[in-house]
């Protein structure tokens, strides 16, 4: 630019971020094309060089559901009521997989994108946000598989029925995605300084799954193990899984108090994660 131009002639002005907390929604909207490019990249390239390709989206939940059915229902004798055990497990796993995909995909944001972060500016939150959006495609494919088995069991005479609250099912998935995004941003900030977190994520997710009522009703753990029932009751993910099964299979119950608790925890985790994420992005390049 020549010397006659004023600062107002610039399209964008990059300045140090002095705000303690900022959502940067306007800036994210300005970079929406980049967001969609990242989403497209995540969807296309993840399985581009694999033999089975997108079929991995289907294999994992099906094999996991079969394993859970054999171990927890046939061997351990967990009763799922009028709902076929395989369908009961598939409903919980389908919803759970979306959370784990969001968490694992966003927990390595700074380390995985250090090269591009160090060369060009764009709102850093676009990267984890693209992971959450792109995983909706994976969730959609797995949910179609669930619908297919639902129809199969229905015509086999299983006592199945959707609950009227199914209309709020998308809201439940959004809450799950936001919770995964918040935790992922928080962990990604910690990974820049403490690499051990990378090794603990996989173990932590497996442990968290058993505390999230994925393969059993919440009421069961309260009756069988009352001394440890509080571990599930204070887990916000358990209420999301339980409510999802209630909406899809009309089994279990919906706890308004539990969902309110889940919503508050989700909002708190998201804002704390975003706060730490914004603070880390200013200096992470020196530690990665």
- Render pLDDT for 134-174 as a digit per residue (tens, 0 to 9): 999 889 989 999 999 999 999 998 888 778 889 999 999 99
Query: What pLDDT, on the 0 to 100 scale, is given for residue 161?
Result: 79
Neighbours of 198 (CB within 10 A): 14
Per-residue tokens: 107: 């927990």
What is the C-alpha to C-alpha distance for residues 232 and 223, in angstroms, rounded to an integer? 12
Task: Note the pLDDT tens digit of each residue in 210-249.
Answer: 999 899 998 888 788 888 788 888 999 999 999 999 999 9
Report the domain count for the chain. Answer: 1
What pLDDT sits at residue 267? 95
Range of the domain at 147: 7-286
Q: What pLDDT, on the 0 to 100 scale, is given for residue 81? A: 83
Residue 31 lies in a domain: yes
User: Which one, of 200, 72, 205, 54, lies nearest residue 141 by Cα?
Assistant: 54
* Burial class of 215 by CB neighbour count within 10 A (0 to 12, 13 to 18, 19+): buried
Residues of the chain below pLDDT 50: 1, 16, 18, 286
Q: HSE (CB half, 13 Å, CA atoms) of 271?
A: 7
Nearest CA among 148, 166, 173 for reference residue 61: 148
Would you mind telling me the total number of residues written for the chain in this entry? Answer: 288
Q: Cα–chain-centroid distance for residue 267?
A: 14
Burial class (CB in 10 A: 0-12, 13-18, 19+), 263: middle
| Residue 1, in any domain of the structure | no
Distance in angstroms (rounded) separating the CA atoms of residues 147 and 80: 18
- Residue 86: which of 132, 140, 134, 150 has the closest Cα? 150
CA dihedral for 100, 101, 107, 112, sign (positive or negative): positive
pTM of the full structure? 0.85
The token duo for 123 is: 């709102």
pLDDT at 164: 83
Q: Is residue 2 part of a domain?
A: no
Supply angle C-alpha 34, 14, 21, rounded to 5.
Answer: 85
Residue 121 lies in a domain: yes
Question: Are the CB atoms for 106 and 132 separated by under 8 Å?
Answer: yes
Q: What is the pLDDT of residue 1?
A: 47
Q: Number of H helices and number of E strands within the chain?
A: 13, 0
Residues 6+ apart with CB under 8 A from 165: 243, 246, 247, 254
């Amino acid at each position: 630019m020549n010397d006659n131009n004023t600062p107002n002639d610039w399209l964008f002005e990059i300045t140090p971020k002095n705000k303690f907390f900022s959502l940067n929604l306007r800036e994210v909207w300005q970079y929406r094309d980049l967001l969609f490019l990242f989403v497209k990249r995540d969807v296309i390239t993840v399985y581009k060089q694999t033999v089975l390709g997108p079929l991995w989206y289907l294999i994992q939940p099906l094999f996991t559901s079969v394993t859970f059915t054999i171990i927890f229902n046939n061997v351990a004798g967990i009763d799922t009521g009028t709902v076929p055990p395989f369908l009961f497990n598939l409903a919980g796993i389908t919803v759970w997989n979306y959370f784990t995909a969001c968490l694992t995909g966003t927990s390595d944001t700074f380390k995985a994108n250090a090269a591009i972060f160090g060369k060009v500016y764009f709102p850093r939150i676009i990267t984890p946000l693209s992971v959450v959006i792109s995983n909706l495609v994976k969730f959609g494919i797995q949910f179609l598989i669930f619908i297919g088995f639902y129809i199969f069991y229905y015509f086999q005479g299983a006592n199945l029925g959707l609950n009227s609250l199914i209309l709020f099912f998308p809201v439940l998935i959004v809450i799950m995605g936001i919770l995964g995004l918040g935790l992922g941003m928080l962990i990604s900030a910690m990974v820049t300084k403490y690499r051990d977190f990378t090794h603990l994520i996989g173990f932590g997710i497996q442990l968290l799954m058993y505390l999230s009522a994925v393969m059993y009703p919440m009421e069961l753990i309260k009756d069988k193990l009352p001394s440890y029932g509080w571990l599930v009751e204070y887990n916000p993910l358990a209420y999301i899984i339980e409510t999802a099964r209630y909406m899809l299979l009309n089994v279990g119950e919906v706890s308004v108090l539990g969902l309110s608790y889940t919503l508050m925890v989700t909002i708190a985790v998201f804002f704390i994660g975003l706060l730490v994420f914004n603070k880390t992005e200013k200096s992470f390049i020196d530690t990665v």
